[in-house]
Homo-oligomer: A and B are copies of this chain.
Amino acid sequence: MKLTIVGCHSASPRYDANPTAQILEVKGHLFLIDCGEGTQVQLRKFKIKFARIKHIFISHLHGDHFFGLVGLISTFKLLGRDASLHIYGPKGIKQAILLQLKLGKTYTNFELYFHELESNQPELLFEDAVLSITTIPLKHRVYTNGFLFQQKPGERILNIQKVKELDIDPSYYQKTKQGFDVPDSKGDMVSNAAITLDPSPPKSYAYCSDTSYCEEIIPQILNTTLLYHEATFLQQHAALALKTMHSTARQAALIAKKAAVGSLLLGHYSGRYNDYNEFKNQAQEVFLATKLAQDGKVFEI
């Protein structure tokens, strides 16, 4: 999994601060998560082959997560896209996008599917052989979901030394990797565990923005490899975080700690702060493995 931060700031777009958008690449898939105004320009800037995006996930319908979507869809049309596009987002997103396209008599020449969300329970949105994607219900001023991307366990790893020693015919290698017991050259069955190694544990990425401090998400994101959690405010503005239903860096770290995630990525910084290192400092008092999102930064998961 490779995560590119397309925009990591909150509220209004500024010249050097783009509202939320991320690209998650998972074995050939290119998923776009949120799409603030100007996202399409950022995608070009970071040389992301955005025609490959087939699934877009919108957390909620505040402008800094959503106002860039209609422009991106229009650009797909102008570029002659023919691959279908799936958009997952809160109920209302379909009407908002289609109304604007209709007003401009802009009809896409590709299939556009809207998957409108309104459940307050986790919902499976997408699944294939590689991964599953599930909503993470969040608590914000409007209906909001995070998204959990979970890779599936890979094939078992062939213990080359062992299969050679036991003289297992290479035609059995594929079955071996799939976890089956297979015969050796004498026809005796060999237990799979004796000739394979565990694959590396499947990776997962949880995107949680925007949300107030919400312990209800912990069971769902337990042991996630990487957690992106919004941290709009520093501790000195905890009251403002409460009022606006956002989180502080410290609160994000508390969630990370309680969910025992591999590492925590902070973002969605309020424009009132100049030095983002303070977000990291405050979070690290609670959870050490904390990193800062930054426009254009790439994280290997």
Contacts and interface: CB of A to CB of B under 8 A. Distances in A.
Contact of A38 (B37, B75, B105, B106): B37
B106 A62 contact: yes
A44 B142 contact: no
Nearest to A15: B45
Contacts of A103: 61, 90, 92-93, 96, 142
Given A99-B99, A142-B104, A63 B67 contact: no
Contact of A15 (B41, B60, B63, B79): B41
Contacts of A119: none
A14 interface: yes
A78 B41 contact: no
Interface string A7-43: 0000111110000000000000000000001101100
A109 interface: no
Interface string A82-96: 000000001011011
A75 B12 contact: yes
Contact of A37 (B68, B93, B95): B68
A141 B105 CA distance: 8
A74 B70 contact: no
Contacts of A183: none
Given A38-B41, A71-B37, A99-B95, A104 B15 contact: no
A277 interface: no
Nearest to A79: B12
Which 3 A-B pairs give the minimum distances between C-beta atoms? A61-B103, A12-B75, A37-B71
Interface of A: 11-15, 37-38, 40-41, 44-45, 60-63, 66-68, 70-71, 74-75, 78-79, 90, 92-93, 95-96, 99-100, 103-106, 141-142
11 contacts: A12-B75, A12-B79, A13-B41, A15-B44, A60-B104, A62-B104, A63-B70, A63-B106, A67-B100, A96-B100, A105-B141
